[in-house]
Amino acid sequence: MNVNFGFSYVGLVYLIMLMTPNLIWAKNLPKDYEKFAANENKVLLALERTGEVLSSCIVLIFTDFNLRPWTCWSWFLVVSFALMVLYEIFWIRYFRSEKTMKDFYSSILRIPVAGATLPVLAFMLLAIYGKNIFLGIAVLILGIGHIGIHLMHRKEVVAEL
Q: Is the pTM higher than 0.85?
A: yes
The stretch 24-37 carries a mean pLDDT of 90
Handedness of CA 62, 111, 142, 133 (dihedral sign): negative
- pLDDT tens readout for residues 142-154: 999 999 999 999 9
Q: Which of 118, 133, 42 is nearest to 80 (CA)?
A: 118
The stretch 35-59 carries a mean pLDDT of 94
The domain ranges of the chain are 9-160
What's the pLDDT at 2?
A: 84
Handedness of CA 72, 1, 130, 10 (dihedral sign): negative
Residue 134: in which H helix or E strand, if any? helix 133-160
The stretch 44-70 carries a mean pLDDT of 97
Is 1's pLDDT higher than 80?
Answer: no
Query: Which pLDDT band holds residue 135 (cuts at 50, 70, 90)?
Result: very high
3-state secondary structure of 18: helix
What's the pLDDT at 42?
A: 95
Residue 56 burial (CB count, 10 A): 17
What's the pLDDT at 66?
A: 98
Query: Which pLDDT band holds residue 56 (cuts at 50, 70, 90)?
Result: very high
- pLDDT tens readout for residues 76-98: 999 999 999 999 999 999 999 99
Q: Which of 12, 11, 110 is nearest to 64 (CA)?
A: 11
C-beta of residue 8 within 8 angstroms of C-beta of residue 65: yes
What's the pLDDT at 158?
A: 85
